[in-house]
Amino acid sequence: MLSCKHIMTVSDMTPDDITMILDTADSFTEVNERRIKKLPTLRGRTVVNLFLEPSTRTRMSFEIAAKRLSADGINFTASSSATVKGESLRDTAKTLSAMACDLVVVRHKYAGAPQMLTECMDAHIVNGGDGVHEHPTQALLDLYTMRRTLGHLEGLRVGIVGDICHSRVAGSLVPALRMVGATPVIIGPPTLMPARPDVLGAEVVYSLDDALPTLDVIYMLRVQFERADAMPIPSNREYAKLYGMNAKRLAAAKPEAIIMHPGPMNRGVEISSDVADSPRCVVLDQVNAGVAVRMAVMYLLLGGEGGGTAA
Amino acid sequence: MAYRVKAEVMDAAAIDRSLTRIAHEVLEANRGAENLALVGIVTRGSVVAERLADRIHEIEDAEVPVGMLDISFYRDDLATRMNPEVHRSDIPFDVEGKDVVLVDDVLYTGRTIRAALDALMDYGRPCSVQLAVLVDRGHRELPVRADYVGKNVPTSRKERVKVMLAETDGEEGVFILAEDGEGEA
Mutation target to probe the B interface, by most B beta carbons within 10 A, among A29, A30, A68, A302 is: A30
B148 found inside a domain: yes
**Which CATH class for the A136-282 domain?**
alpha beta
Chain A residues in contact with chain B using a Cβ-Cβ cutoff of 8 Å = 1-2, 20, 23-24, 26-27, 30-31, 34-36, 38-41, 69, 299-300, 303-306, 308, 310-311
**A39: exposed, middle or buried (Cβ count in 10 Å: 0-12, 13-18, 19+):** buried
Cβ atoms B52, B36 nearer than 8 A: no
Q: Write down the pLDDT at residue A228.
A: 57
Closest chain A C-alpha to B21 CA, distance in angstroms: 32
Is residue B167 a part of any domain in this protein?
A: no
B182 within domain boundaries: no
Check pLDDT > 90 for residue A139: yes
Q: CB atoms < 10 A from the CB of B137, how many?
A: 23
Please check the confidence at residue A221 and state whether its pLDDT lies above 90: yes
CA distance B157 to chain A (A): 12
Percent residues over pLDDT 70 in chain B = 94
Q: Please give the model's pTM, rounded to 2 decimal places.
A: 0.87
Looking at residue B62, its pLDDT comes to 94
Query: Strand B160-164 vs strand B173-179: parallel, antiparallel, or unpaired?
Result: antiparallel
Dihedral over alpha carbons B115, B121, B127, B129 (to 10 degrees): -10
- In a domain, residue B145? The reply is yes
Task: Summarize the confidence of residues A18-37 as an average pLDDT.
Answer: 91
Band (B181; pLDDT cuts 50, 70, 90): low
What's the sign of the alpha-carbon dihedral A124, A129, A134, A135? Answer: positive
Residues A16 and A3: beta-carbon distance below 8 Å:
yes
pLDDT category at A309 given cuts 50, 70, 90 is: very low
Residue B86's pLDDT is 77
**pLDDT, mean over chain B:** 92
Q: What is the pLDDT of residues B62-72, one digit of tens each?
A: 999 999 999 98
b/e for B27-41, b at 16 or more Cβ within 10 A?
A: beeeeebeebbbbbb
Q: A311 to chain B, minimum CA–CA distance in Å? A: 7
Q: What confidence tens digit (pLDDT) does each residue in A78-112 have?
A: 776 777 777 888 998 898 889 999 999 999 999 99
pLDDT score at B94: 94
Within 8 A of B111 by CB-CB distance, chain A residues are: none
For chain A, domain boundaries: 10-135+288-302, 136-282
For residue B126, the domain's CATH number is 3.40.50.2020
Q: Do domains A10-135+288-302 and A136-282 have the same CATH topology?
A: yes
Burial class (CB in 10 A: 0-12, 13-18, 19+), B171: exposed
- Check B87 against A36: CB less than 8 A apart: no
Q: Is B34 within the bounds of a domain?
A: yes
Query: Do A142 and A219 form a contact (C-beta atoms < 8 A)?
Result: yes
CA atoms within 13 A on the CB side of B79: 7
* Distance between CA atoms of residues A94 and A106, nearest Å: 14
Query: Per the CB < 8 Å rule, is A34 touching B123?
Result: yes
Domains held by chain B: number: 1
What pLDDT sits at residue A218? 98
Chain B hits for A35, Cβ within 8 Å: 123-124
Domain hosting residue B75, numbered range:
13-155
Number of C-alpha atoms within 13 angstroms, CB side, residue A35?
11
ipTM of the complex, rounded to two decimals: 0.73
Q: Taking 90 as the threshold, does the pLDDT of residue B13 lie above it? A: yes
> Taking CB atoms and an 8 Å limit, are B88 and A26 in contact across chains?
yes
8 A C-beta contact, residue B129 and residue B102:
yes
pLDDT in tens, B94-140: 999 999 999 999 999 999 999 999 999 999 999 999 999 999 999 99
pLDDT for B182 beyond 80: no
- Residues in B closer than 8 angstroms to A26, CB to CB, are 88
According to CATH, the topology of domain A10-135+288-302 is: Rossmann fold (3.40.50)
| B163 domain-assigned | no
Distance (Å, whole) CA A251 – CA A7: 38
Backbone angles phi, psi at A27, to 5 degrees: -65, -35
pLDDT classification of A303: cutoffs 50, 70, 90: confident
Q: Does B13 touch chain A (CB under 8 A)?
A: no
Measured between beta carbons, the chain B residues lying within 8 angstroms of A300 are: 84
Considering the domain boundaries, does residue B26 fall inside one? Answer: yes
Q: Exposure of B185 by Cβ count < 10 A (0-12 exposed, 13-18 middle, 19+ buried)? A: exposed
Give B185's pLDDT tier (boundaries 50, 70, 90): very low
Domain assignment present for residue B89? The answer is yes
CB contact under 8 A, B84 and A20: yes
Residue-level pLDDT at A310: 31
Total number of residues shown for chain A: 311
Higher pLDDT, residue A257 or B90:
A257
If you average pLDDT over every residue of chain A, what do you get? 91
CB contact under 8 A, B84 and A40: no
